[in-house]
């Protein structure tokens, strides 16, 4: 039986949402300011958006960020799914717990430690800091996230599905592609979108492993903030916020469709 929220609970929830979203809406509103500061709104204008799309260097940085995020999310999703399968199929409980603990180390470790570790590793390996160092770092810290998203779906899956497929003569490849993968698709999508979000948001690790001539939005915005933020950064942040909301909406509809399809399969 569902419990109704008390007025105090509703008020507390509203306060929390206000604290979380008020700075974002403040930033978005002032991206349309015809003035040059965030202290005085002089009038509505698209000047900062025009300036943003005329800033070639900043657009290249946006492209760098998107490419790194998409590539790292895609590669880490593939590796993470394979890792989750390996952990799930481990026969000994101790082995499974050990693998899970090793997977979780990168999640619980401070970003500063991870970034410094990657910096030392790339320096010792002779890898030049830039696109590839950032990409490899993002793949590395995204893999454990994907594993944690996929593993619960594997645990939900009944072993009888695999046994039935094998009894019908399915090969290991057919079992993987026609039974296991379709069942864990929601977890795979969740892992991909989480990896994509983490890559977009990451600053600490990227700050350590980025080099001269290559930058991502988080690092660039930090460097611009130290010199005083121009309102074209507000415009950029507003567009990124809308893009993130679009990803959330897409993910929501994908998960809802998978739920409906799953219910249909169970009914049949």
What are the structural domains of the chain? 55-257 (1.10.3720.10)
Residue 68's pLDDT is what? 93
Global pTM value = 0.79
pLDDT, position 82:
92
Which pLDDT score, from 0 to 100, does residue 265 have?
45
pLDDT, residue 183, reads 86
To 10 degrees, what angle do helices 231-267 and 217-227 make? Answer: 150
pLDDT at 256: 72
Residues of 236-256 as b/e, b for ≥16 C-beta within 10 angstroms? bbbbeeeeeeeeeeebeeeee
pLDDT of residue 229: 63
Mean pLDDT by groups of 10 residues along the chain of 268 residues = 71 88 84 77 82 84 90 94 89 83 83 89 89 92 91 85 80 84 87 88 88 83 72 81 80 69 50
Question: Measured on CA atoms in the order 84, 90, 92, 98, is the torsion positive or negative?
Answer: negative
| pLDDT (0 to 100) of residue 1 | 44
The reported pLDDT for the residue numbered 55 is 81
């Amino acid at each position: 039986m569902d419990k109704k929220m008390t007025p105090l609970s509703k008020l507390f929830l509203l306060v929390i949402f206000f604290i979380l979203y008020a700075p974002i809406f403040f930033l978005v509103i002032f991206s349309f300011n015809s003035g040059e500061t965030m202290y005085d709104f002089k009038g509505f204008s698209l000047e900062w958006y025009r300036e943003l799309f005329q800033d070639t260097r900043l657009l290249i940085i946006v492209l760098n960020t998107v490419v790194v995020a998409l590539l790292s999310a895609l590669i880490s999703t593939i590796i993470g799914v394979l890792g989750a399968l390996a952990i799930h199929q481990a026969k000994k409980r101790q082995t499974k717990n050990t693998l899970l603990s090793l997977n979780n180390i990168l999640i619980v470790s401070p970003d500063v430690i991870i970034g410094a570790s990657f910096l030392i590793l790339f320096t010792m390996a002779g890898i030049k800091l830039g696109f590839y160092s950032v990409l490899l770092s993002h793949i590395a810290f995204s893999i454990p996230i994907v594993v944690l998203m996929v593993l619960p779906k594997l645990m939900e899956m009944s072993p009888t599905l695999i046994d039935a497929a094998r009894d019908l003569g399915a090969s290991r490849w057919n079992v993987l592609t026609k039974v296991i993968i379709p069942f864990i698709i929601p977890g795979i999508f969740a892992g991909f979108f989480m990896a994509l979000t983490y890559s977009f948001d990451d600053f600490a690790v990227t700050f350590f492993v980025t080099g001269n001539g290559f930058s991502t939005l988080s690092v660039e915005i930090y460097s611009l903030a130290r010199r005083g933020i121009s309102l074209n950064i507000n415009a950029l942040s507003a567009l990124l916020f809308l893009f993130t909301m679009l990803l959330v909406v897409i993910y929501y509809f994908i998960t809802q469709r998978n739920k409906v399809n799953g219910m249909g399969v169970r009914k049949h």
